[in-house]
A and B are shown apart, each in its own frame.
Chain A
């Protein structure tokens, strides 16, 4: 039975650590069964322990120990690494924010503390890193390189790429994408990260595979609508994405009606501060993330494929709180990493998104300038088989 160390910022109700680690403790719904992973959480490191946190409770109930350092957690208090996998969850907790409004979660520091143990003890084990790798692309890149250098599996990212889709569609592998667009909502960062990774898990399936990002630009306010009129992003694709939304606001909130939010102009009235994240890929593909707080409350994608008259579109289904069963979809992928040692989809996806997001936020910070991003020449291939929840 595989032994797991949990390394996290905070363990309290509805924090990522709670709903991720708990699934290893109490099981989770998988393909129509209550699935209990054949692995055991044996140690925990938690950075912050405010009143009401649950780490001691869980340790007592499920028979593992909480250690004061990451190294001790990985060694289970002994002298050599004594776990077979690391669940690294640097999300939630009180951490400072930088001038680009990025929360400085210590994912890189936690990861490096694990790598130090791997190197000292001469054995490396798979790591799942929750969400983006780091707020800094340089740090993120080093994390991925550590995995390659020491030969351990690294998986990272959001639940959005692996949750249910409404409808259940994926882009055909090697399709020719003319343009892609994602609608997201929530704060920046973190929610723009989720939306961007959802978009990336679709665009990476295009012909030739992922080629990396050449340039990014983030604009906001009225400029976003003007850019749509000028054709910098596609109104047709926005309509396609919105056709998948279950949460139009405004008039729908008022009296329940369906609405063509572009046609009736409501979208322009409802979104106080729209933002467009333009991603120019090395192979010429243009993709746009629109953050439209106030208009909708869900995450929808649309793409125009060559020779297809109607865009492909879908909603990334974020199932209700508190079950958030979408995270169970991600746990199944983490379990696969832990079981086989190999990531079911490339961590380069998350590396590229970590960097593209950072550069978008830099663009905003520097006055919405277009930034060339030669450092984001991250190339990879999507797995042939779709990875989202379908069974």
Chain B
């Protein structure tokens, strides 16, 4: 019988609907997958939770799953209380919990700090094991880059990012591999330094499949409020693509009372969306991508791009079954956990972490642009070229 990998989970907090609950629970309780209730063929043996508050669920999980032990430090969770690394894979879930924000509005989640503590154990043990880092790498670009460099230097499999690239799509399509893409747009919702990241991952998981692969990003500029509407009016991004993306939404706020699904006029858009935000960025190969947050108008993530030699539109929605309003389970975590499982079993990331390194830098550049009166941010440090996987990795089965 194959040896079952031992997994450690390092989380900031573990409460209902925290990312740790969604991810770790799937390793413990199993999840619906391909017509079965699937139990990952591995054991979550150790858990470190940094913040334990009244709503904590980690104690319940430790009690109900006695093969998993709680540890007071990250190092102990990785060594199982011993001297050396004693697990075969690590989940780093630095999302949710009470952490301060900086003057730019970035929540200072300790992803880098946790990663560093983990890397010290790897260093001391003379080996690393596969690591999944939830969401972007760090709020601080320099630190994010260090995380990536350490994984390269120590040569362990490293995956990170959002569920958006791997969840269901309606329609269930992918960007054809190697097709020319001249412009791409994602229309989503949520806040700066949070859901902007999901929208950027939505864009990147599609455009990275274009002719030549990802070439890196030259500059980024943010638009907000009146500047957004001015840019929309002058078509700094394609209005046709923006509208195509909206036509994939299942959650368009009705712009007229008594109608359940009309298409909004520009005046109605302005009435509905009080604080529109866009990050537009130029890739090194000339592609223009625009991430748009339309809070109030939609509650889903929709992608549209001009592809091919005749600028045909390709569009889809990355669907999030989002609790508690629409579902009870955040099942977009199921394909994410399934990809993580594959990495733990094979020691290979199922998609490139360079995607998330790039989107991490794009979030930071977007935040910087907004903080600096929407000025254009040159991004020579985002000269991150990478190739996509040949096979699609989103949820299709």
Contact surface of A with B, Cβ cutoff 8 Å: 13-14, 18-19, 22-23, 26-30, 32-34, 54, 57, 164, 166-168, 239-240, 242-249, 252-260, 262-263, 297-298, 302, 310-313, 317, 319-325, 328, 389-391
Segment at the interface with A among B97-105, B136-144, B190-198, B244-252: B244-252
CA distance A177 to B37 in the complex (A): 22
Q: Are B261 and A32 in contact (CB under 8 A)?
A: no
Residues of B close to A325: CB separation below 8 A: 250, 261
Q: Is the CB of B260 within 8 A of A33?
A: no
A-side contacts of B247, CB under 8 Å: 29-30, 32-34
> A22 → chain B, closest Cβ, in Å?
6
Establish whether residues B329 and A248, one from each chain, have CB atoms under 8 Å apart when the complex forms: yes
> How many angstroms between the C-alpha atoms of A28 and B247 in the bound complex?
8
B21, B259, B326: the one contacting A256 at CB < 8 Å is B21
19 contacts between A and B (CB under 8 A): A14-B260, A29-B247, A29-B249, A32-B313, A33-B247, A34-B247, A164-B171, A167-B397, A246-B321, A246-B326, A247-B327, A256-B16, A256-B17, A256-B330, A258-B31, A258-B32, A302-B35, A324-B260, A390-B172
Give the 3 A-B residue pairs with the shortest CB-CB distance, closest first. A243-B32, A240-B35, A246-B327
Q: How far is the CA of A310 from the CA of B241 in the complex (A)?
A: 40
Indicate whether B304 reaches chain A with its CB closer than 8 angstroms: yes
Question: By the criterion CB–CB under 8 Å, are A255 and B261 in contact?
Answer: no
In the complex with contacts A22-B259, A249-B328, A323-B260, A168-B32 CB distance below 8 A: no
Residue in chain B with minimal CB distance to A241:
B35
B309 interface contact, C-beta 8 A? no
Binary per-residue interface labels of chain B (378-397) against chain A in the complex, 1 for a CB within 8 Å, 0 otherwise: 00000000000000000111
Interface centre among B26, B34, B261, B325 (most CB of A within 10 A): B261
Q: How far is the CB of A317 from chain B (nearest CB, A)?
A: 7
* B36 → chain A closest CB, angstroms: 6
Closest to B261 in A: A323
In Å, the complex CA distance between A196 and B244 comes to: 34
Q: Per-position contact with A for B1-40: 1 when CB-CB < 8 Å, else 0?
A: 0000000000000001100011001100111111111100
Q: How far is the CB of A249 from chain B (nearest CB, A)?
A: 6
**Complex Cα gap A54–B31 (Å):** 45
Question: Which residues on B sit within 8 Å (CB–CB) of A391?
Answer: 171
Within 8 A of A (CB), among B321-337: 321, 323, 325-331
Query: B262 at the A/B interface (Cβ < 8 Å)?
Result: yes
**Contact in complex: A29, B243 (CB < 8 Å):** no
Q: In which size bucket is the chain B interface?
A: 35 or more
Q: Is there contact, CB below 8 Å, between B37 and A260?
A: yes
**A239 B21 Cβ-Cβ under 8 A:** no
B254 within 8 A of A: yes
Which residues in B have their C-beta under 8 angstroms from that of A259?
Answer: 29
Which B-chain residue is minimally distant from A261 (CB atoms)?
B37
A33-B244, A256-B25, A323-B250 known; A243 and B261 CB under 8 Å? no
A252 and B35 contact, Cβ closer than 8 Å, known pairs A26-B262, A258-B26, A319-B250: no
A54 and B258 contacting across the interface, CB-CB below 8 Å? yes
Bits for B189-221, please: 1 = Cβ < 8 Å to A, else 0: 000000000000000000000000000000000
CB distance from B342 to the nearest CB of A (A): 18
Q: Is the Cβ of A252 less than 8 Å from the Cβ of B33?
A: no
Given A256-B323, A320-B326, verify A243-B263 contact (CB < 8 Å).
Answer: no
**Helix, strand, loop or mixed for chain A's interface?**
loop
Interface presence of B372 (CB below 8 A):
no
Given A167-B395, A323-B251, A313 and B35 contact (CB-CB distance below 8 Å)? yes
With an 8 A cutoff between CB atoms, is B168 at the interface? yes
Whether A322 contacts B321 by the Cβ 8 Å rule is no
Min Cβ gap A313→B in Å is 4
CB distance from A227 to the nearest CB of B (A): 21
- Name the contact of B16 in the complex, choosing from A33, A244, A255 (C-beta under 8 A): A255
* Chain B residues numbered 301-328 whose CB sits less than 8 Å from any CB in chain A: 304, 313, 315-316, 319, 321, 323, 325-328
Residues of B within 8 A of A30 (CB): 247
Known contacts A34-B243, A168-B172, A260-B37: does B60 contact A255 (CB below 8 Å)? yes
Are B260 and A19 in contact, CB atoms less than 8 angstroms apart? yes
- Bound: A312/B313 CA distance, A: 32
With A23-B261, A317-B170, A323-B251 in contact, do A258 and B29 touch (Cβ < 8 Å)?
Answer: yes
Given A32-B248, A240-B36, check contact A255 B259 (CB 8 Å): no
In the complex, what distance in Å separates the CA atom of A26 from the CA atom of B22?
Answer: 40
Q: With A and B bound together, what is the CA distance between A28 and B33 in angstroms?
A: 33
Chain A residues closer than 8 Å to B259, beta-carbon distance: 22, 26
Which single residue of chain A is at the shortest CB-CB distance from B334? A258
Q: Contacts A54-B258, A243-B36, A313-B35 known; A260 to B29 CB distance under 8 Å?
A: yes
- The answer to whether A320 and B35 touch across the interface, beta carbons within 8 angstroms, is no
* Shortest beta-carbon distance from B220 to chain A in Å: 27
> Nearest chain-A residue to B315 (Cβ)?
A32
Contact of B252 among A240, A243, A323 (CB under 8 A): A323
Cα distance, A57 to B257, chains bound together (Å): 12
- In the assembled complex, the Cα of A239 lies from the Cα of B35 at a distance in Å of 7
* A-chain residues with CB within 8 Å of residue B254 when the two chains form the complex: 322-323
> Which residues of B have CB within 8 Å of A28?
261
